[in-house]
Structure 1
Amino acid sequence: MTARRHSEQELPRWRRAVLKVGSSLLAANGGGLSTRYALGLAEFIAASHRAGREVVLVSSGAVAAGRALVRAQPETAHGLAARQALAALGQTTVVALWQRFFDRPVAQVLLTHDDLRNRRRYLNARATLRELLALGALPVVNENDTVAVDELKLGDNDNLAAIVAALVDADLLLIATDIDGLYSANPRTDPTAVPVDDVAAVTPAIFAMAGGAGSSAGTGGMRTKLEAATKAAAAGIGTLLFNGTDAQALRLLAQDRLRGTRFRAAETRLHARKYWLRHAPLAGGCIRVDAGAARALGSGGASLLPGGIVGVRGEFARGDMVEIETEQQDQVFSIARGISQYAAAEVRRIAGRKSAEIESLLGYSYGETVVHRDDLVALSGVGA
């Protein structure tokens, strides 16, 4: 019995998306990587680029590609060191696979748990991905399996994709798999399974629908995709789950139509981000700004530049959440809070200067803003 198909639905509006492609779509039957399904996915990415959209690709397949290069000893590749070696061998093959489909450059970005746990490295990773998108490149992200140890591994590329979606402030997380979407039960074994087109929230009842891994080539099943959708929803990002082996589903996706499952975010991306910024713990340091900067920040659309800073109180590190205050009529008001791109000592040295002078003053630069507008929330009723 053939499983019932998901209904078509309109995609939400999006400008930037993270697309996760699993090993089951890339692994060849005889080992190594295949272009069979990668071509259709690449055509969707190219169509998105032509529409002026940005895509970050999270691609599996490195271990499978590496294993194909050492066919003489396939049975030895089971331990951690062996998997790391296979990943190192296969990473270049994965990038080469995707590069063959595009005229634009393809960039490899390898991330570890520490890159995302350490705030400074998190900011560096985000800055790199944003700059790659600005340059028109296609970033291809994977976990850095060659150095990660089991206790610090991110675990699977579904969850990595959700983290990357939050990292780059994506509008959507797209997960390409080898099944049409979420069903009430495993449609491969249960003929009564019915398709689930729309999920308002991933509840225990939704998790109960998930089975185990569906392919020997991959590490994740439906459960890790639900985990990823949950993480994305918490960041205000919706998730679309669709069949990457279905050429028609991919053509529909390029036309802003989904035949699969949509997982909705509880809040808008902006609301979720601003809520987190408003409630994240402060580092204890504070940046004082002049009246002009206070007005610009109070409007909610400006970044904090060094020229508007008149002083720094306390100590904080790059990546810390800091308070931003101003003085009006001999009274000090907190007007905003945000993530500082520079440490307190660095802010003291560049305060009141032009952004173009940062590198000459410090000997390096993390960018022209001290607090970027995407990392800043204005406090209502002040600074206007």
Structure 2
Amino acid sequence: MQFKRIVVKVGSALVSPDGQGCSGKHVLAIAGFISACHQQDIEVILVSSGSVAAGRSSIAHGSNTPSIAAKQAMAAVGQMQMMANWQRFFDFSCSQLLITHGDLKDRKRYLNIKNTVRVLLENRVLPIINENDTVATQELKVGDNDNLAALVAMVVEADALLILSDVDGVFDKDPRKFSDATLIPNIEEITQDIYDLAGGTTNHLATGGMATKIQAAEKACEQGIETFIVNGTKPKAFEQLLQGANPGTHFRAQGNTLTAKKQWLKNTLKSSGAVHVDQGAVRALQKTGASLLAIGVKGLTGDFAKGAAVDIIYFDEQAPKIIGKGISQYSSSDLARIQGQGSHNIETILGYCPSQEVIHRDDLVLSNK
């Protein structure tokens, strides 16, 4: 594959085909695909459904439509089983991240999720993400893992989103009702006609269907993320993906991730202050694509919190120049204490070190780029 960082979303029907506990029936082939991606230095973030189905047999509920409390209890039991099921298929470490929509809306928590995933990927650990169904209120729920996967893909700045389900992709008519239904391999634009092709879900333990997958694709494509719906029950589909072929439905991104990110940083986020940098920092940022370190910071303007957007300013002999904008990993009060210091001194000065960088290169856009 030509992608460098992908989010793989796995549906409940693949983790728990019979709706009773976890199974390796389909997960084994998916794990093999993820391992092959690792071998090709493709970073993978896994968004896995299945905790409710995995824990269903442990919680008495007496209904095919369990209550919210029963589903939360199932998720509490099933999450452990689901994670153990994934880990047994890998010879590298897995990690668990349980998040809610509230985490993604809050700027500090959003940044913390991004930083955590970044460090996990740097250490070749597989992040496995699921919605925190045991505590999420209705107001803080994403609601389905298709849309959660799209939001995660934006957070981690993936260049592809792969939605795995038990269907081949989007068809021109319902394949469950019409034998002559034809798979649509490429969708250039998501219109109402595309949504009209989506049916509901027949799985009473699942929260998504084709409609939520199309919603997720629309979110991701708007941010420049190529999106695929692929049948995860077919091992051959993973061989095709690794060879660069499309075994399902490909939703074409409406731009590229760099452009989307540049627009977000430059035009959407309002700067809360500025950091003043020296000539060495300017050279490192512009010539080598480096992150901004505390040692290159010589001053600051404004009162800002961790996670705020700030301008990067260089004072030359003539006038101050804004050379870029980025998201600060430190508040202005903490940054004032560590400016000009080496990264190895941060913990000694502050008592903690949330990041080696003041602004990571992934969170920075230069004015001349």
Give TM-score, length-normalised by structure 1.
0.91
In the alignment, structure 1 segments of 5+ residues that lack a partner are: 1-10
Q: How many residues align?
A: 369
The answer as to 2:33 corresponding to 1:44 is yes
The answer as to 2:154 corresponding to 1:166 is yes
The answer as to 2:236 corresponding to 1:248 is yes
Aligned match of 1:6: none
> Displacement, 1:332?
1.7
> Displacement, 1:371?
0.8
Q: 1:128-186 CA deviation, whole Å, 9 max, x = no partner?
A: 11212222222211001111001210110001111111222212111111111111221
Q: 1:249-305 CA deviation, whole Å, 9 max, x = no partner?
A: 223223332211111111111121112111123243111112222333344712111
1:112–1:153 contact (8 Å) kept in structure 2: yes
| AA partner of residue 264 (structure 2) | W
2:61–2:70 contact (8 Å) kept in structure 1: no
Deviation >6 Å, runs of 4+: none
> Displacement, 1:19?
0.7
Q: How does 1:11-160 map to 2 (within 5 A)?
A: 13-29=2-18, 31-70=20-59, 72-75=60-63, 78-160=66-148
1:328 to 307, 313, 316: 316
> Displacement, 1:115?
1.4
- The whole-number CA distance in structure 1 between the counterparts of 2:34 and 2:317 is 55
| AA partner of residue 266 (structure 1) | Q
Specify whether residues 300 and 334 from structure 1 end up closer, same or farther in structure 2 by C-alpha distance, changes over 3 A only. Answer: farther
Q: How does 1:303-342 map to 2 (within 5 A)?
A: 303-342=291-330
Q: Secondary structure at the match of 2:102?
A: helix
- The whole-number CA distance in structure 2 between the counterparts of 1:110 and 1:253 is 28
1:260 to 216, 231, 248: 248
| Higher RCO structure, 1 or 2 (CA under 8 Å, sep 6+) | 1
In the alignment, structure 2 segments of 5+ residues that lack a partner are: none
| AA partner of residue 240 (structure 1) | F
2:272–2:303 contact (8 Å) kept in structure 1: yes
Aligned match of 1:181: 169
Give TM-score, length-normalised by structure 2.
0.95
Q: 1:46-72 CA deviation, whole Å, 9 max, x = no partner?
A: 2212222221111111111111123x4
1:307–1:355 contact (8 Å) kept in structure 2: yes
1:297–1:336 contact (8 Å) kept in structure 2: no
Q: CA RMSD in A?
A: 1.8
- The whole-number CA distance in structure 2 between the counterparts of 1:68 and 1:151 is 28
Q: Secondary structure at the match of 1:279?
A: helix
Q: Secondary structure at the match of 2:337?
A: helix
| AA partner of residue 69 (structure 1) | S
1:238 to 219, 223, 226: 226
Aligned match of 1:193: 181
